[in-house]
Amino acid sequence: MRKRPVLIFDGDCGFCTTSVDLARRLVRPRCEAVAWQHADLVSLGVTEERACYEALWVTPTGRVYGGAQAVAKVLLSAGGLWTMWGAVLTLPPVRWVAHGVYRLVADNRGRLPGGTAACAVPGTTTRRA
């Protein structure tokens, strides 16, 4: 069993990579961050399709959280005031709004600063995790 959670993100996406690098510097989550392209997805219990669809947080016991809830877990793991923001993201109706905002950003990441052609995953608006 792993000792630390794992944050899985799209390493081909400049926006995603920049966001994770920023989180590492400012938030300092207690996790290992790895691009899904370099992760052993099978051992993490994650499909490539889901890893393409959203950022994922995998607990040491193998529980997987995706999208906005993965972001909440990043914040919760950091401690301090970040914990409060992470907790807020887990509460309805904030959780529902956060999910919508996450999908909006994820589905349009190719258009955001740092985004590249690799960020535009075909069919993301119709795929479900």
Token pair belonging to 44: 């993490």
Is 20:9 a contact under the CB 8 Å cutoff? yes
**Higher-confidence position of 79 and 1:** 79
What pLDDT was estimated at residue 119? 60
75-121 pLDDT, tens per residue?
Answer: 999 999 999 999 999 999 999 999 999 999 999 988 887 655 556 55
Domain boundaries, the chain: 6-115
pLDDT tens, position by position, 2-22 = 899 999 999 998 899 999 999
Q: What is the pLDDT of residue 84?
A: 97
Q: Residue 117: its pLDDT value, please? A: 57
Among residues 52, 47, 57, which one has the least CA distance to residue 8? 57
CA proximity to 97, closest of 74, 123, 71, 73 = 71
What is the model's pLDDT at position 126?
Answer: 35
